[in-house]
């Protein structure tokens, strides 16, 4: 289990690319503070469900409250901070 924040960021981005099939991107292409659902990556509502599945499978985190989800699934930084604080695996 990765505990170092920088390593976790890279690992999360790799999962992001795999789960969302963003195969033309590398982890270096995804900025940590750019909104995931903005114009940059162009993610949509189906992707948000894929992200929830990703967090559940890879980190044992279950997001059930939509309001909470909107605050977590903002950018790579907010998600990784949440993983560090709440991961169960």
Enumerate binding residues for another protein (CB under 8 A): 19-23, 42-44, 46, 49-50, 52-53, 56-57, 62
Q: Is 74 exposed, middle or buried (0-12, 13-18, 19+ CB in 10 A)?
A: middle
CB 60 within 8 A of CB 89: yes
DSSP state of 38: S
Cβ distance to another protein smaller for residue 62 or 70: 62
User: Smallest distance, Å, CB 21 to another protein?
Assistant: 4
CB of 6 to another protein, least distance (A): 27
Nearer to another protein, 19 or 77 (CB): 19
Nearer to another protein, 3 or 66 (CB): 66
Q: Which residues contact 9 (CB under 8 A, 6 or more apart)?
A: 27, 32, 76, 80
């Amino acid at each position: 289990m990765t505990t170092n924040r920088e390593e976790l960021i890279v690992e999360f981005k790799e999962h992001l690319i795999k789960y969302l099939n963003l195969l033309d991107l590398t982890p270096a292409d995804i900025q940590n503070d750019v909104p995931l659902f903005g114009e940059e990556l162009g993610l949509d509502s189906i992707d948000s469900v894929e992200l929830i599945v990703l967090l559940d499978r890879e980190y044992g985190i279950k997001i059930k409250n939509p309001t909470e989800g909107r605050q977590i699934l903002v950018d790579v930084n907010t998600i990784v901070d949440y993983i560090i604080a709440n991961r169960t695996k």
